[in-house]
Structure 1
Amino acid sequence: MKFTELDLPAEVRQGIEAVGFTDLTPVQEESIPLALAGHDVTGKAQTGTGKTAAFLISLFTRMLRNPRKTGSNPRALILAPTRELVAQIHDDAQALGAHCPFKVQPIFGGVDYQKQRDALRDGVDVIVATPGRLIDYAKQKVFSFNHIEFLVIDEADRMFDMGFIRDLRFILRRLPPFDQRQTMLFSATMSHRVRELAYEFMNVAEQVEVEPEQVTAELVEQLLFHVSRREKFPLLLGLLAQEENADRIMIFVNTKKEAEHLTERLKVNDFKAAVLSGDIPQKKRIRILDDFKQGRLRALVATDVASRGIHIDDVSHVINYDLPEDPEDYVHRIGRTARAGAQGKAFSLADENLVLHLPDIEGYIGRKVPSCIPGENDFIWDYKRPHPRKKAPVPEKKTSGAEKNKSSRRRRPRRKPAGGKPAGS
């Protein structure tokens, strides 16, 4: 089905044409008509299937056809679990809604506290937010939830995983009743907890489910290499040298320490790379992502904090330098490539320790991951090593004069009485 077949306002059509969308993805084809008809919708689909465009197109269309009556309080609220996902949804909204008369405001922690506060006070149409800072502004009465007509909850399962369910319920209980607003909920997995949330706060939602077999896994060329731990970095260099058009690569590892170590080794070997992990300050994280999107970085070495909620166009390759321990993380990682119908490649390096997780991954995706043992020509052994970091000198302990005198005293041996026996024996 093509977007031209949908009954959409001219402003929305212009946005769709500007971003180059022509054909609907399966989740879009099923969910958009339901949302346009005014139904609440729950959508289950993996990352990279066009869920963001589905709810933004539906939202903008409904808002245009039902103009604001009075006031300047927000009409629509989009909740997401991470700052990266909020920023990405905001960017997509700016592109798709470029011809719509709506002010879209991102709200998340780490940056621009007063700037975001002032924007809310001045009035916005759509809020895209993580729960924490939004609640902070709500408690200060910077804005009101009373006029929310449209609610979107994105990555609902991730909300539970990250412990946001209490904050989410706090917000939901302050919105207008579910029969006075339209709600759309999207999730990669539709667990019992997510279904319970939908049942409690939605108005007899229409269910849309797109199974993994229909989406990302089929568009990604997957290949797993059986390799020892010491061979992984030489093989990585070999793959990067052999692969054509490998100019935007995401490399996933399991720990922050490994991410920092691997990035340092790549930089020494003339690869422009940076680390993306959970504890990087928000301003630096935004700068790193922008450098990667603009091509100033060739490789982004990330922990699983980056495996969801980041949409970067034209990621050519995903490399699982460490095979993930959680099977779901494998799907989320490779979903960074082959997005919205594009092609992509995903390589995994399974060493003697992490290969134990392969059966669970294959069981979860319902198929065998094609695998091979690399040949000698696949390795690059002649590479530069980072200089070992010098240990900081241990400062000498300062001692007082009394301690010096005490330590300088020599213990005199006890004198033995005549006969060779100690006194008192």
Structure 2
Amino acid sequence: MLIDDLPVDRRLIISLSHLGFTETTEIQAKAVPIAVAGKDLLASSKTGSGKTLAYLLPAMQRVLKTRALTKRDPRVLILTPTRELAKQVYAQLRLLVSNTSLKSTLVSGGENFNDQVKALDKDPHFVVGTPGRIVDHLKKGLLHLEGLELLILDEADRMLDLGFAEQLKAVNSAANHRLRQTLLFSATLGHAEVNEFASELLKAPVRIAIGEENQQHSEISQRFYLADNLNQKEKLLFHFIKNEEIKQAIIFTATRLDAQRLSAALSEKGYGTLALHGDLTQNNRNSIMDSFSRGKAQLLVTTDIASRGLDLLNVSHVINFDIPKHTEEYIHRIGRTGRAGEKGDAISIIGPKDWVNFKKVEEFVQRQLTFNRVDGIKPQFKGIVEKVVKAPETKVVSHKAEKKQSSKTRKPKAAPNKIFHEAEEAGFTPMRRKKKIEE
């Protein structure tokens, strides 16, 4: 479907054409008409599918074409699981509102609280934020949602996995009126908690599932390499960085310490490298992502904090230095490349400690994964074979042998008295009379 065919205001079509959008993605073509019609929506699609525009366009359409319920309360609230994703959504929203009189603000953790209070006092039409900080403003009476018209939950499965269920319920309670429309997006509709949560928040929602959660990215080449230990993992990593045609690459690690260590090692080799992890302040994280998105560094070494929501078009490679514990994160990680129709490469290094997680990924994607090799690096590790525990053999015992065996079995000793007040004292030895010796 062409962007021109969407049932939205002409001003939005013009803004999108200026941004280079001419055709819709599948999720946009299916979700936008339903959301514009005012229906609640429960939708899933793979990462990089254009989901953000699928809810921003209906939100813009509603605010542009309908009268507000109240003059002061925000009309649209968009919640995301992480600060980085909130910032990404806010950046796209600002492009859409730039040629209108509509106001928007970002309210996420890690940012100055007082600055957010001032921004909310200006009565923005759109608020993009994270659940924790939004609820902080609600509790202090600095944000009111009685007039909220549209609640959008982006990556609801991730928010629930991160423990934001209570915050989401608080937001729902603060804006719980019959005129509110709700759009809920999740990586999968097979998430039990998401479905249970959706039944509380949504009213007769239309369900849209674009592909399965384990559907492979056809535009992304996936390769897997075995490694004996940490040193061999690093040799493989340095080989890929040196020999692959990399525009930009994101290297995922399991821990903050690994992210810092690998970033320092790559920097020493002369590569422009940045490290991103959850222990950094929000300002530092923003600065790092801004530098990377502007191409000031070729490599970004990070934990799963960067596995979702970041739309970085120049990322040609994703390298899994460690396999994630949660299988869904593998799909989200590799989805950082191969975006907007571009081809991408995903490389995963599997050591003995990664094997269990790797097998979970293999089961999740529902196909057997094969391994590649690098000349000069010959790992001895071939994977871990599950031991098959044989059931003990049952011997056939004849009736005579059984009778003979039973006669030999000793009677079990009587269990000691364990009742405290009736038990014998420690060291107690009963006295025995000596037999008289007859002379």
| TM bucket normalised to smaller | 0.7 to 0.9
Which shifted more, 356-365 or 88-97? 356-365
Q: 1:257 to 1:69 in 2, by over 3 A?
A: closer
C-alpha distance after superposition, 1:201-248 (max 9, x if no partner): 21100000112479662111111122332222222222122222x121
TM-superposed deviation, 1:44 = 1.3
Give a deviation string over 1:14-65, Cα, whole Å, max 9, x none: 2211222222222222211111111111111222111111000111112211
Question: Which consecutive segments of 4 or more residues in structure 1 shift more than 6 A?
Answer: none
Q: Whole-Å Cα distance in 2 between the matches of residues 288 and 378 of structure 1? A: 36
> Could you report, residue by residue, the CA deviation over 1:381-421 in whole angstroms, capped at 9, with x for unpaired residues?
xxxxxxxxxxxxxxxxxxxxxxxxxxxxxxxxxxxxxxxxx
Q: CA deviation at 1:377?
A: 8.5
Q: Which residue of 1 aligns with 2:102?
A: 102
Given the alignment of the two structures, is residue 79 of structure 1 paired with residue 90 of structure 2, yes or no?
no
Tell me the equivalent position of 2:281.
281
Counterpart of 1:351 in structure 2 is 351
Residue 243 of structure 2 is matched in structure 1 by: 242
CA contact (8 A) 1:216 1:338 kept: no
* Structure 1 residue 5 displacement after superposition: 1.7
Distance change (3 Å), C-alpha of 1:2 and 1:311: same
- The structure with higher relative contact order (CA 8 Å, sep 6+) is 1
CA contact (8 A) 1:157 1:189 kept: yes
* Structure 1 CA distance for aligned equivalents of residues 138 and 77 of structure 2: 13
Cα distance in 2 for partners of 1:83, 1:334 equals 20
**SS at 1:88 equivalent:** helix
Could you tell me which amino acid in structure 1 is paired with residue 180 of structure 2?
R
1:423 aligned residue: none
Query: Which of structures 1 and 2 has the bigger CA Rg?
Result: 2
Shift of 1:311: 2.3
Partner of 2:183: 184
Q: Which amino acid aligns with 1:181?
A: R
CA contact (8 A) 1:28 1:51 kept: yes
Change (3 A) 1:215 1:357: closer
Tell whether the 8 Å contact from 2:214 to 2:365 is kept in structure 1 after alignment. no
**C-alpha spacing 1:5/1:368, structure 2 compared with 1 (3 Å):** farther
Cα offset for 1:329?
1.4
Amino acid at match of 1:49: S
In the alignment, which residue of structure 2 is the partner of 1:29? Answer: 29
- Indicate the SS of the match to 1:105: strand
Amino acid at match of 1:249: A
Q: Which residue of 1 aligns with 2:225?
A: 225
| SS at structure 2 position matched to 1:29 | helix
Indicate if the aligned counterparts of 1:220 and 1:338 stay in contact, CA closer than 8 A: yes
Counterpart Cα distance in 1 of 2:131 and 2:172: 11
* Residue 340 (str. 1) matches residue 337 (str. 2): no
Partner of 1:194: 194
Tell me if structure 2 keeps the 8 A contact 1:12–1:99.
Answer: no
The 1:83/1:344 distance shift into structure 2, 3 A limit, reads: same
What corresponds to 1:386 in structure 2? none
Give the count of matched residue pairs. Answer: 377
**Whole-angstrom CA distance in 2 between matches of 1:194 and 1:354:** 28
Aligned position for 1:262: 262
Structure 1: any 5+ residue segments left out of the alignment? 380-425
Q: Percent identity?
A: 33
**For residue 324 of structure 2, what is the aligned residue in structure 1?**
324
Alpha-carbon distance in 1 for matches of 2:4, 2:370: 38
Which stretch of structure 1 is more off in the superposition, 207-216 or 50-59? 207-216
Q: CA deviation at 1:106?
A: 0.6
Could you say what secondary structure the match of 1:221 adopts? strand
Structure 1: how far apart are the matches of 2:356 and 2:40? 42
- 1:368 offset after TM fit, Å? 3.4
Q: Root-mean-square deviation (CA), in Å?
A: 2.0
Question: Is the 8 Å Cα contact of residues 49 and 216 (structure 1) preserved in structure 2?
Answer: no
Separation in 1, partners of 2:265, 2:54: 41
2:251 is paired with a residue whose SS is strand
- CA 1:200–1:70 in structure 2 vs 1: closer, same or farther (change >3 Å)? closer
Which runs of 5 or more structure 2 residues have no equivalent in the other structure?
380-439
Q: Which has the higher mean CA deviation after the structures are superposed, 148-157 or 302-311?
A: 302-311
Q: Matches of residues 398-413 of structure 1 in structure 2 within 5 Å?
A: none
CA contact (8 A) 2:187 2:213 kept: no
